[in-house]
A and B are shown apart, each in its own frame.
Chain A
Amino acid sequence: MSTSTTPVATTSTTGRARTTGPGPAAMLALEVRDEMRMIRREPAALFFSVLMPVMFYTLFVSLFGNQFPSGGSRPVGTLMLATFGTYGAIVATMMNPGISLATARENGWFEAIRVSPVPVGVHLAAKVLATVPFVAGILVAMTTASAALGVLEVSVGEWFALVAALVVGSQSFALVGLVVGALASPNAATAILNAIIMPAAVASGLWFPLESMPDWVSTVARVLPTYHLAELAATPLGGGPWMTHLVVLVAFTGLAGLAAAAAWRRADA
């Protein structure tokens, strides 16, 4: 992929020299910049996708964070960085791209994008990538809260591994948001995404340990990608083998990609 183009001068009606447009990487950077501006300037989006997961985390850590799991050496508050971090990451990566795509489709802005020099794929990728700083911000805020509450026991290397797992792993969930955003109205997209995220969070043990729930919930959790993302994120904190979780997440990404392509074809018909 080229990051720049060879300037090619053409005659313009205004008499100024013009060049061909920016390369894909530069175009992506422009799109990400605008997407981040939009998220940053939308207080409601910031509250629901950034502040609320952090507030949930802080509340639960205040209640249970200084306990230790049986046979474990780290406080529950530290382990919750993986589970609540997963919740925060999927909220940011699913809700923001999904709702903003649904809104742009409904109000006509998406058509303006499609007649512009921006490839649709670049525009959608920018929606997803623009969530990365917010996911990182959520994890930094949760880490700060756990440190303030005295339950943080993690090395810098372990912390970076956890953040990397969540930032990269959550990107595939953005595809689900784009599927919903390509097919539903903004209000319906919000409701549908919440209807996906909330049960998945509970059933994957992101809010409460699976051990505290009925056995069938644990069975359900095994087929949910949210569960496997949380387990992958917990690996640096002393979790079990990670390969199975990675394979499940890669397979989920493939399926979500196929669904996104099908949704796009239907929306574009």
Chain B
Amino acid sequence: MADRSDPLRVRDVQFTYPAAARPALAGVDLDVRPGECLALLGPNGAGKTTLIRTITGLRSPDAGIVRVAGGDPRQASTRSHIGVMLQSTAFPSHLTVRELVDGAAARAGRTTGDVDDVLDEVGLVDLAGRRSQALSGGQRRRLQLARALVVDPVLLVLDEPTEGLDAESRRATWDNLAARRDAGMAILLTTHLVTEAGEAADRVAVIADGRIVADASPDVLVHGLPDRTIHLNTTVSLATVRALPAVDHVTVTSTGDAVRSTLAITTRRPEGILRSLLVADPGARDLRVVGASLEDAVLAITADRDRLARRPPDDVPGPSRRSPADPSSAPTASVPAAAAPARRLTERTTA
């Protein structure tokens, strides 16, 4: 019987591809609770896909435990409690939308009476009799979601769920998923649309080099990052801005004419820079100061990790300037550099 109170439990999962120099998964721990949406983010090659394949039963770990609804996802009976939306949108071309959704329901032991509700939920009810080969890319994506939802899964695994959808369909998809989550469904998603992930997810887990290096709410990750970005259109030269104290990074986002340009200045202390800029150019316009985004936070976490990994073992790193973490708990030489950021950034609430 499915344990709906324990949708996903991953413990110390390790996996190395044959002939690979480094493990794809180097001891991953992860949980998703009922009624929770967890976004798994990270750069290409970080281990996201391998972890998703392990959780969905496509791959057996070399070591560690994966349990979905209390069962082993390599067992077919456990997989009847997982709804999966893979990146590939292939279907047998000659089967209709209804046959494909009805088939998914029947194979998971669901009644076919739910099919109409789900087709209505994803906006495919008018296309129920259409063969999959005649669907557009966005419609195929929604068909995938319908097949994943119709099994009423304990754990819903979504790999790039809004890929190929227009803005309206994307909004509707996130609304549907939020409703399912509010009803108690556990959701694990990966997406390259980090902003959307931040809006949809209750928690974000960042994976890098096969390890979870951050696990916290989007707010905690973003607020931990001290960076602010000043956007303005000014006559002050790029060289002058670069010379100001506390400027971390400057990019020219557009050049209007020979005199003015629009700049994006990243800094931890915007007040002093603003004063200096307004003194130098009282006519500066389009001035905005924005906080860090979740994407900034994810980039900072993974960049921080790369930087630490490149240090020699006896080089004691100080607090990372771009780290969203509390500098007081910076890693020391006695802490393996690869593991330290994860400890600083983890905000686990599970036992």
| Chain B stretch 75-106: residues in CB contact (< 8 A) with chain A | 76-77, 79-80, 82, 84, 86-92, 94-95, 99, 103-104, 106
B94 contacts A37, C-beta separation under 8 Å: yes
Cross-chain contact of B104 among A11, A109, A116 (Cβ < 8 A): A116
Closest 7 CB pairs of A and B: A108-B88, A107-B90, A41-B94, A117-B80, A21-B109, A21-B80, A108-B90
Cross-chain contact of B92 among A10, A12, A16, A34 (Cβ < 8 A): A34
A14 contacts B114, C-beta separation under 8 Å: yes
Given contacts A14-B152, A34-B95, A112-B147, 4 further A-B contacts (CB under 8 A): A20-B80, A115-B58, A116-B108, A117-B107
Q: Is the interface of B mostly helix, strand, loop or mixed?
A: loop
B86 contacts A112, C-beta separation under 8 Å: yes
- Taking CB atoms, residues of chain A closer than 8 Å to B111 are 16
| Chain B stretch 49-79: residues in CB contact (< 8 A) with chain A | 56-58, 76-77, 79
- Taking CB atoms, residues of chain B closer than 8 Å to A20 are 1, 77, 80, 109
| Chain A stretch 1-29: residues in CB contact (< 8 A) with chain B | 5, 8, 10-16, 18-22, 27
A118 contacts B76, C-beta separation under 8 Å: yes
Indicate if A243 sits at the interface (CB-CB under 8 A): no
Cross-chain contact of B184 among A13, A27, A104, A116 (Cβ < 8 A): A13
| Residues of chain A at the chain B interface (Cβ within 8 Å) | 5, 8, 10-16, 18-22, 27, 30, 34, 37-38, 41-42, 104, 107-109, 111-112, 114-119, 269
B77 contacts A30, C-beta separation under 8 Å: no
Question: How many B residues touch the partner, as a band?
Answer: 35 or more
B79 contacts A115, C-beta separation under 8 Å: yes
- Taking CB atoms, residues of chain B closer than 8 Å to A41 are 94, 131
- Docked Cα-Cα span, A16 to B108, in Å, equals 14
B107 contacts A21, C-beta separation under 8 Å: yes
Per-position contact with A for B165-194: 1 when CB-CB < 8 Å, else 0? Answer: 000000000000000100111000000000
Indicate if B4 sits at the interface (CB-CB under 8 A): yes
A-B contact count (CB 8 A): 100
On whether A21 and B94 interact (CB within 8 A), knowing A34-B103, A37-B99, the answer reads no
| Residues of chain B at the chain A interface (Cβ within 8 Å) | 1-2, 4, 18, 56-58, 76-77, 79-80, 82, 84, 86-92, 94-95, 99, 103-104, 106-111, 114, 131, 147, 152, 180, 183-185
Q: Which residue of B lies closest to A24 (CB)?
A: B76
Cross-chain contact of A13 among B87, B109, B180 (Cβ < 8 A): B180
